[in-house]
Amino acid sequence: MTLSKAGTHRRTLTALALSAFLAVLVLTPIAVAQPPEDPGNRPAHAGPPQDVVDQLLDRGFRQVQPSIFERQPVDTPTSYETVVYGVDGHLWLLGQQEAFLETLQARYDQYPAPEMLDAILAQETRIEENLALIDEMRAQGTTGGQTTLDNGLTAVRLGSGELISVGEAVTSCTTTLQRTGSAGATSTGPTATGSSSFNDTCTEVGTVSSTATAQGTDSIGNINTYTQTCPSATGGNVSCNATASVNAVTACFSNGQGSVTFGFFTYTASETNSICRPLTASLTGTTSIYVPRGSSRTGFWSVSASNGSTPYSYQWLYNNAAVGTNSTSYSRSYPHPGIGYVRFDTVKVTVADSSNPTQTVTKQLTVRVEYENLCIDPCFCPISAASVYGINPESIVQQPCQLEP
């Protein structure tokens, strides 16, 4: 699709679909006597109506600026989704797009590959389309147009959750904006996916685009790169999906992004990954040990790690207390304490690799420790006697006393 044709669709959006989108997003509280805000004549450079702001905040978005909203998973710092509105919001989005273009160009300078040029070209196209939309919004100024829907109001959804549904006559018309952008790693190397879709059951139209890129160096030094992108598509029921993965062990990079534009709104998701392969580890060793009276025994444990980025580092913990050294193995002596009892301990090890950000994985084993019982007097066995030997009574499963012959 050419930019000129996309521009024609966008003018249709901003004159009709935009005002319809805003109209359904503005609630008129019954208790308020003043007339509702007229969204149809809302300037393109103004922020969205307060009702829209409230709905986004309720769904976990953070208002970065009046026209910019961002939501970021706590455990995934390289993943985010944004909702931007109007000229100001799309200018901010333009800055984000240009910054990512610089990342791709730097990646190409360091690891040149024709497939990375595909990713660069796709990002340049996104920037050009955003600039065209900004120009159109600026040209409209305060004449955003006003549309009355004869068949009632529409429910608009961002993803699977309904953003807002308003009006006394909400019809079966539904506008749904879906997008995902994810990047990660498998046992063979980095991966990425991007997807976006727009669906309206009546007459509104939206624009979708998605890109996925993966790159890394394999075990014999080859730089492997793959990019998949689907050109922007505009319509009432359009979708776009992209996936990428490569075999690599070092210098990995992947990014997935999906974007949907509807009227003056653009809904985007993106994630970037620098991990080659997910770190894995296996812990083996003693799980049960019996200590005869008057002697001692030793437990042994070892850990093996794979994938991730070498070298690895290790931290051993025994009953959650740091022990041992930075080693793939750990041993512990169990001298008989003088009384017989059974307890259950935990051996734990955390492995960290050298990737950025660092990957960690923790493995744990439960160890049953049984000390042979020795009772000179039946009254010597109560748990309270454990304190004499510095043993935590809560860790003891008391054994029946056995008299010596």
Check whether residue 204 and residue 230 sit in a common domain: yes
Check whether residue 29 and residue 58 sit in a common domain: yes
Per residue in 88-144, pLDDT tens? 999 999 999 999 999 999 999 999 999 999 999 999 999 999 999 999 888 876 433
pLDDT at 350 over 90: yes
Check whether residue 256 and residue 321 sit in a common domain: no
Closest by alpha carbon to 246, among 185, 194, 294, 200?
185
Residues linked to residue 284 through DSSP beta bridges, in sequence order: 302
Give the mean pLDDT of 230-239: 91
Per residue in 281-297, pLDDT tens? 999 999 999 999 899 99
Q: Which of 273, 301, 319 is the last residue of a domain?
A: 273
Q: Which of 228, 251, 273 is the last residue of a domain?
A: 273
Q: What count of residues does the chain have?
A: 405
Check whether residue 190 and residue 228 sit in a common domain: yes
Percent of the chain with pLDDT over 70: 71
In a domain, 141, yes or no: yes
Tokens of 49: 């109506």
In a domain, 51, yes or no: yes
At 335, the amino acid letter reads P
**DSSP, residue by residue, 266-288:** EEEEEEEE--SS--EEEEEE-SE
In a domain, 45, yes or no: yes
**DSSP, residue by residue, 317-386:** EETTEEES-SSSEEEEEEE--SS--EEEEEEEEEEE-SSSSPPEEEEEEEEEEEEPP-BSSGGG-SGGGG
Check whether residue 325 and residue 177 sit in a common domain: no
- What is the three-class DSSP state of 102? helix
Q: How many CB atoms lie within 10 A of CB 34?
A: 7
In a domain, 383, yes or no: no
In a domain, 341, yes or no: yes
Tokens of 303: 């850990």
Check whether residue 242 and residue 364 sit in a common domain: no
Mean pLDDT taken over the chain: 77
In a domain, 389, yes or no: no
Alpha carbons 239 and 156: distance in angstroms, whole number: 17
pLDDT at 162 over 80: no
320, exposed or middle or buried, with CB in 10 Å at 0-12, 13-18, 19+? exposed
Confidence category of residue 172, pLDDT binned at 50, 70, 90: low
Check whether residue 311 and residue 259 sit in a common domain: no
Q: Work out how many domains the chain is built from and give that number.
A: 2
Check whether residue 156 and residue 226 sit in a common domain: yes
Check whether residue 38 and residue 136 sit in a common domain: yes
Domain containing residue 322: CATH number: 2.60.40.10
pTM of the model: 0.68
Q: Which of 273, 308, 334 is the last residue of a domain?
A: 273
Tokens of 338: 């003088």
Alpha carbons 17 and 33: distance in angstroms, whole number: 28
Confidence category of residue 43, pLDDT binned at 50, 70, 90: very low
Check whether residue 269 and residue 286 sit in a common domain: no
Per residue in 372-392, pLDDT tens? 985 444 444 544 444 444 445
Q: Which domain holds residue 326?
A: 280-374
pLDDT, position 272 = 92
At 127, the amino acid letter reads I
In a domain, 384, yes or no: no
pLDDT, position 26 = 30
Check whether residue 124 and residue 27 sit in a common domain: yes
Check whether residue 258 and residue 287 sit in a common domain: no
In sequence order, which residues have a C-beta less than 8 Å from that of residue 204 and are 6 or more positions away?
13, 16, 17, 20, 21, 154, 175, 236, 262
Angle between helices 114-140 and 3-12 (to 10 degrees): 40
In a domain, 195, yes or no: yes
Per residue in 197-210, pLDDT tens? 988 877 788 899 99
